[in-house]
Structure 1
Amino acid sequence: MFDVPPPADFSPTLDEARTLLERVWGHADFRGLQASVIQEVLAGRDVLAVLPTGGGKSVCYQVPAILRPGVGLVVSPLIALMTDQVEALKQQGVAAARLDSGLTMDERSAVWRAARSGELDLLYVSPEGLASGAMLERLAELPISLIAIDEAHCVSQWGHDFRPDYRTLGRLAEIFPRVPRIAVTATADARTRDDILASLKLGEARVFVDSFARPNLQLTAERKVNGSRARTDARVVELVRERRGRSGVVYCGSRDGCERVADALRDAGTNAIAYHAGFDARERDRRLERFLAEDGAVMVATIAFGMGVDKPDVRFVIHADPPGSLEAYWQEIGRAGRDGEPAEGVTLYGPSDIAWSLRRLDGRPMAEEVKQVQTRKVRQLFAMLDGATCRPQAVRRYFGEQDAQPCGVCDVCGDPPATFDALVPAQKALAAVQRLGERFGRTRVIDHLMGRTKDVQPWEAGLSTWGVGADLSLIGWRDVIDHLMFEGLLVEDPNEGKPLIRLGDPQAVRAVYRGEREVRVKEPPTRAVALDKPRRNAGRNLAVEGLDADVRARFEALRAWRRDRAVEQRVPPYVIFQDKTLVEIALQEPRGLDQLAVIPGVGAGKLERYGAGVLAALEAASG
């Protein structure tokens, strides 16, 4: 253990925290569970906080770090995330810095000097950096006010984004035994939460779990047509075109997919930017800067992208390829609508996607118990996507909110799909796969059930399942087989590019044979696509689009002024002011600094830095 200086015996009050919140962030009070979490940390106690994306997790450690004596140490998994938060804090007048591989030696030395001299409120580091004994030794010389572990789900092998470097962070409890620690994440089920507590040695920590509700998000899921890449790409282009001019993220499952979809979108006139690990760090940073700075930009990225993106005005997230779990789905969908305005999440999915997700799991080195859990997570995601239950309700119940009610705005709530009792067709399909020796693909099994196999051999025609499904259409059988795959009753073996299907979970299959398990399948839609256009103006910034002409002119003038300041400082525009703050300024049209100061989102630091410029921009817009 290092000889760590003891923290000062000082416990700021919650009233002081509220005063700080209003002065720095320009908000009168905390939201949700923020006040309860902050009160625990201010008192020097450990906390695990699971708050939804956009729920203000960072404030839960930033406020106590500023109020408690010493420097707050924040462990963050991505350079982009650290950079974004540090720049936003600097804009608000908070002394913050980061230590990562992107800094020069001179820049790193300057950060350490500032930390030693007590000039920093917050210091952001990566888990890889903390693995260095040299960094820990230097940190041990500083008075640490608190330790925050951001994106704490990365600690857990049961989570959707496990990172081995996070697993070592438990030793911080021994190195800094009297320093309060707070672990925060947006997505962690009960098992993952228990693993976080154990791994980080947070046994005495109080656990706060807020509702996972995101009422401003409208969720939709569509089955892919025939699983064709070309058809899927065309559908993505169509969806983005319907949302022209709005900022969004399109997730693809591969680098090639990113490049292909981005090219198709650019050909269709969209400002699309491809982003994946195939680009070097400098190029990725450049592309991220474009996305953050340019209005209406659409990022086309692999499913690993997004954790470090705090862009508040993302109006839609489209999954061209679905992720591998409900945790990943909820976090990635949560990139949209962080400003609280209406936004959309659209997911395209098909049986080939679940097969791909399971193959990817098979290729990862992990304990068999962990693989079984992750496999179940994949199936739970696809069961939700292909189900007839309100989508947010299904996700919230997955995270433990048993009292979650239907959202009323997702595609299932807006247009409940008709289902039919598919127990008998399911029994026939499972029996056919079994009697055919699990040696054929989906099309061949369907042909067998419908009695359409070309040049059928006597051994096959003699099976009891030959032709027993002639009463169901080809589309109907495809839907039944797909549903059985989503439910894990059938599984797909890649077989070197010629997939075969075989029986899945033996216990579940027996339950279907015995009629003990209900099987209900959605009836085919009456139209080719599930969503012709965004409903209820979802994904639109209603506060902006409903403005009167003169107010809209002031808003656009403020955006232009903000864009110029962002270019000058090489920062994303939203770290200067978010759109919702500019809307309020345009509506209220303040005539002086005192009137500007009371607008939510205008803290003391920004008032001093930008107040005169905002007022000048308003005056110019008014003529």
Structure 2
Amino acid sequence: MSKRPSYPDALSVLREVFGYPAFRGSQAAIVEHVASGGDALVLMPTGGGKSLCYQIPALLRPGCAVVVSPLIALMKDQVDALIQLGVEAAFLNSTLDADAARDVERRILSGELDLVYVAPERLLTPRFQSLLERATISLFAIDEAHCVSQWGHDFRPEYIGLSALHERFPDIPRIALTATADHATRAEIISQLGLEGAREFLSSFDRPNIRYTIIEKNNARKQLLELIRREHSGDAGIVYCLSRKRVDETAAWLREQGIMALPYHAGMDASSRAAHQAKFLRDEGIVMVATIAFGMGIDKPDVRFVAHLDLPKSLEGYYQETGRAGRDGLASSAWLAYGLNDLLLLKEMIESSGAPDAQKQVERQKLDAMLGLAETTRCRRQVLLGYFGETLEKPCGNCDNCLTPPETWDGTEAARKALSAVYRTGQRFGAGQVIDVLLGKETDKVKQNFHQKLSTFGIGKELSETQWRAVFRQLIAGGYLQTVPDGHGALMLSEVARPLLKGETTLTLRKIRERAAGKIRTGSSGAPEFANAEEEATWQRLRLCRKRLADEQNVPAYIIFADSTLRAMLEHRPATLAEMARISGVGHEKLGRYGLAFLDALHALD
């Protein structure tokens, strides 16, 4: 059976099926290259339109495109979104019963499907490999390709086997896509997947609509609540925590404060995780509190904030997690609260792990880069993009350091006192004990170790405990102090500390900042600034119309239309179907399905 319908070129598919007037960035070049049979490695930020880079070639080439996706739970929503556009798509995974799976296989063989989504485990089974050999396959798309990196933050062992695609199907083009990969990870993707001959497309990593803010942790839950109430009341958001216990406690506490929050982590049973994920995707204003087990492949475009209550382990992880905010291009925020204990815990986790020394060294370097972003006084976006090899010529003007430049102070003397106290206590105690010594606190532990008799006892009373913790955090981040291997957080001096202790160098430290810088916007739920009450009423009618249609079909509201499309309707006020067709995001299929309903919502009071 031939593919239906036939399109003359890529731009026609973009406009008629997806409803977008023009390609963005390198999309056109990628689509042309893959549609003509070329292999590609695509690095594009979340929200940059990666999926179009394989979906459009799939509609231009004969046969069915096979999309490898690591998360079964998200395949249905991706397929639902394509079906709304009139694209013949399906998924094949363990959620289907035998009859449903056989029907998908039949549709692949008969040529009825444009795209099929499969997990890598399913793809590599002899049964599916045999199916592929009998079917007409247009291309292979490997999504979240960074999962192939063995030392990456999202390594999936089954991705290693995907190199077999090139060996068994050398004439079928492959496109590997990721939003997160430094130079080393890109090299590993190419090597592991056999993409040495592929053309690389590296888009800008910049997400200018995201405001980056990093603050000192001081009762992180209350700081988070302040952020939500001040800037994101009623918004969808994701809150990342390092441990499952912290996830459960934070979600419960937020609910007590009147926030619609749900937990998500690998310790929950599968049905609860699936139910919470579905509610987050389909309802509005849900805050998901999660470990990093949640999020990869999330298509929800109206996540207005991503918050971290613990320091991420790497810039790759941080970038990908924060990238789940603002996929629709509207103003969003990435907020992180971290403190000294976060840093010590992560360093201890690295040193006490059973990983090979080479892997530990990679993990140390990644953590050091993350610390560099957290402690910088420069534009955060410049530092973040610089890590991925991209230069931002001017400060961004949309991060906390740009909006409220951090204050610094000469911390040389304080640093020498801190280093001396670490040395005098024997380099076998954690920061808390050393700070007690500096402050002259005669605690049981201080007296037990006779630390009250040291020359450094009480020499740091000019600073508060909070200020000393900031000093120690910056000394560790700067490499002056390091954790003792298997020392349970104990600190020791590094060689870098020697010239500072001897008075040969000075040290400038950053003053602590406990609050976020400024507001992102007013309003909530991605709503625009309204000119009058009538305009606000129209906006609410559009959202209610979208929710009604989504509920009728049991799909997330954003699959009907994204917030950005509703905003375009509100701004341009189309009066006819022809005018509605010119709104970005309104393709031919959706125009026919929903055009009249949204015209009615727009002009209900006219």
TM-score (norm 2): 0.92
Q: Does 1:568 align with 2:570?
A: no
Q: Is the 8 A contact 1:128 1:165 kept in 2?
A: yes
Superposition pairs of residues 8-23 of structure 1, within 5 angstroms: 16-23=9-16
Relative distance call for 1:365 and 1:452 in structure 2 (3 A) is closer
- Amino acid across the alignment from 1:501: L
Relative distance call for 1:154 and 1:457 in structure 2 (3 A) is closer
Q: Take 1:248 and 1:557, find their aligned partners in 2: how far apart are those partners? A: 23
Q: Could you tell me which residue of structure 2 aligns to residue 614 of structure 1?
A: 598
Q: Take 2:507 and 2:34, find their aligned partners in 1: how far apart are those partners? A: 48
Q: Could you tell me which residue of structure 2 aligns to residue 491 of structure 1?
A: 482
The alignment partner of 2:33 has SS state of helix
Q: Take 2:500 and 2:187, find their aligned partners in 1: how far apart are those partners? A: 34
Q: Of 159, 164, 176, which aligns to 1:183?
A: 176
Q: Could you tell me which residue of structure 2 aligns to residue 228 of structure 1?
A: none
Q: Of 513, 531, 538, which aligns to 2:516?
A: 531
User: RMSD across aligned C-alpha pairs, in angstroms?
Assistant: 2.8
Select between 378-387 and 50-59 the one with higher mean Cα deviation: 378-387
Relative distance call for 1:460 and 1:615 in structure 2 (3 A) is closer
Shift of 1:362: 4.9
Q: Could you tell me which residue of structure 2 aligns to residue 347 of structure 1?
A: 336
Q: Is the 8 A contact 2:140 2:172 kept in 1?
A: yes
Q: Is the 8 A contact 1:158 1:191 kept in 2?
A: no
The alignment partner of 2:141 has SS state of strand
Q: Take 1:264 and 1:319, find their aligned partners in 2: how far apart are those partners? A: 16
Shift of 1:353: 1.2
Shift of 1:345: 1.1
Superposition pairs of residues 348-367 of structure 1, within 5 angstroms: 348-362=337-351, 366-367=355-356
The alignment partner of 1:544 has SS state of coil
Q: Take 2:252 and 2:104, find their aligned partners in 1: how far apart are those partners? A: 41
The alignment partner of 2:9 has SS state of helix
Residues 297-342 of structure 1: per-residue CA shift (max 9 Å, x gap): 2111112211121111111111122321111111111111111111
Q: Of 300, 305, 326, which aligns to 2:315?
A: 326
Q: Is the 8 A contact 2:523 2:529 kept in 1?
A: no
Residues 542-599 of structure 1: per-residue CA shift (max 9 Å, x gap): 7623354323322221211211111121110100111121222233333322221111
Q: Could you tell me which residue of structure 2 aligns to residue 130 of structure 1?
A: 123
Superposition pairs of residues 128-167 of structure 1, within 5 angstroms: 128-167=121-160
Q: Is the 8 A contact 2:343 2:473 kept in 1?
A: no
Q: Is the 8 A contact 1:218 1:409 kept in 2?
A: yes
Structure 1 spans left out of the alignment, 5+ residues: 1-7, 226-230
Q: Could you tell me which residue of structure 2 aligns to residue 28 of structure 1?
A: 21
Q: Is the 8 A contact 1:450 1:466 kept in 2?
A: yes
Relative distance call for 1:574 and 1:423 in structure 2 (3 A) is same
Q: Could you tell me which residue of structure 2 aligns to residue 4 of structure 1?
A: none
Residues 377-420 of structure 1: per-residue CA shift (max 9 Å, x gap): 11221231122121111100011013443111211111111112
Q: Of 581, 589, 592, which aligns to 2:573?
A: 589
Q: Could you tell me which residue of structure 2 aligns to residue 244 of structure 1?
A: 233
Q: Does 1:520 align with 2:489?
A: no
- Amino acid across the alignment from 1:351: L
Q: Is the 8 A contact 1:273 1:287 kept in 2?
A: yes
Q: Does 1:212 align with 2:205?
A: yes
- Amino acid across the alignment from 1:586: L
- Amino acid across the alignment from 1:595: E
Q: Could you tell me which residue of structure 2 aligns to residue 3 of structure 1?
A: none
Shift of 1:509: 4.2
TM-score (norm 1): 0.89
Relative distance call for 1:509 and 1:123 in structure 2 (3 A) is farther
Q: Of 226, 248, 259, which aligns to 1:259?
A: 248
Superposition pairs of residues 168-179 of structure 1, within 5 angstroms: 168-179=161-172
Shift of 1:45: 1.4
Q: Take 1:251 and 1:539, find their aligned partners in 2: how far apart are those partners? A: 24
Q: Of 477, 480, 486, which aligns to 2:468?
A: 477
Shift of 1:476: 3.8
Relative distance call for 1:433 and 1:578 in structure 2 (3 A) is same
Q: Of 389, 402, 413, which aligns to 1:413?
A: 402
Q: Could you tell me which residue of structure 1 aligns to residue 490 of structure 2?
A: 500
Q: Could you tell me which residue of structure 2 aligns to residue 222 of structure 1?
A: 215
Q: Is the 8 A contact 1:45 1:205 kept in 2?
A: yes
Q: Is the 8 A contact 1:153 1:188 kept in 2?
A: yes
Q: Of 528, 538, 542, which aligns to 1:558?
A: 542
Q: Does 1:113 align with 2:116?
A: no
Q: Take 1:485 and 1:415, find their aligned partners in 2: how far apart are those partners? A: 25
Q: Does 1:399 align with 2:394?
A: no
The alignment partner of 1:400 has SS state of coil
Q: Could you tell me which residue of structure 2 aligns to residue 5 of structure 1?
A: none
Select between 266-275 and 585-594 the one with higher mean Cα deviation: 585-594
- Amino acid across the alignment from 2:142: I
Q: Is the 8 A contact 2:348 2:489 kept in 1?
A: no
- Amino acid across the alignment from 1:500: A
Q: Is the 8 A contact 2:333 2:520 kept in 1?
A: no
Q: Take 2:454 and 2:259, find their aligned partners in 1: how far apart are those partners? A: 54
Q: Take 2:172 and 2:229, find their aligned partners in 1: how far apart are those partners? A: 51
Shift of 1:348: 0.8
Residues 186-220 of structure 1: per-residue CA shift (max 9 Å, x gap): 11111111111111110111112111111111111
Relative distance call for 1:462 and 1:321 in structure 2 (3 A) is closer
The alignment partner of 1:204 has SS state of coil
Relative distance call for 1:547 and 1:602 in structure 2 (3 A) is farther
Q: Could you tell me which residue of structure 2 aligns to residue 598 of structure 1?
A: 582
- Amino acid across the alignment from 1:546: F
Q: Is the 8 A contact 2:348 2:486 kept in 1?
A: no
The alignment partner of 1:537 has SS state of coil
Q: Take 1:29 and 1:71, find their aligned partners in 2: how far apart are those partners? A: 25
Shift of 1:479: 1.9
Q: Is the 8 A contact 2:352 2:486 kept in 1?
A: no
Shift of 1:269: 1.3
Relative distance call for 1:590 and 1:524 in structure 2 (3 A) is closer
Relative distance call for 1:170 and 1:470 in structure 2 (3 A) is same
Shift of 1:156: 0.6
The alignment partner of 2:288 has SS state of strand
Q: Take 2:485 and 2:240, find their aligned partners in 1: how far apart are those partners? A: 23
Q: Could you tell me which residue of structure 1 aligns to residue 563 of structure 2?
A: 579
- Amino acid across the alignment from 2:227: L
The alignment partner of 2:528 has SS state of helix
Q: Take 2:355 and 2:485, find their aligned partners in 1: how far apart are those partners? A: 20
Shift of 1:467: 6.3
- Amino acid across the alignment from 2:378: T
Shift of 1:67: 0.5
Q: Is the 8 A contact 1:351 1:486 kept in 2?
A: no
Shift of 1:251: 1.3
Select between 370-379 and 588-597 the one with higher mean Cα deviation: 588-597
Relative distance call for 1:590 and 1:367 in structure 2 (3 A) is same
Structure 2 spans left out of the alignment, 5+ residues: none
Relative distance call for 1:474 and 1:43 in structure 2 (3 A) is same
Q: Is the 8 A contact 2:85 2:590 kept in 1?
A: yes
Q: Could you tell me which residue of structure 1 aligns to residue 430 of structure 2?
A: 441
**Count of matched residue positions in the alignment of Structure 1 and Structure 2:** 599
Q: Is the 8 A contact 1:428 1:465 kept in 2?
A: yes
Q: Is the 8 A contact 2:234 2:524 kept in 1?
A: no
Select between 102-111 and 131-140 the one with higher mean Cα deviation: 131-140
* Aligned structure 1 segments of 4 or more residues deviating by more than 6 angstroms: 454-464, 514-518
Relative distance call for 1:459 and 1:389 in structure 2 (3 A) is same
Q: Take 1:364 and 1:82, find their aligned partners in 2: how far apart are those partners? A: 34
Residues 473-496 of structure 1: per-residue CA shift (max 9 Å, x gap): 554432221112233432345979
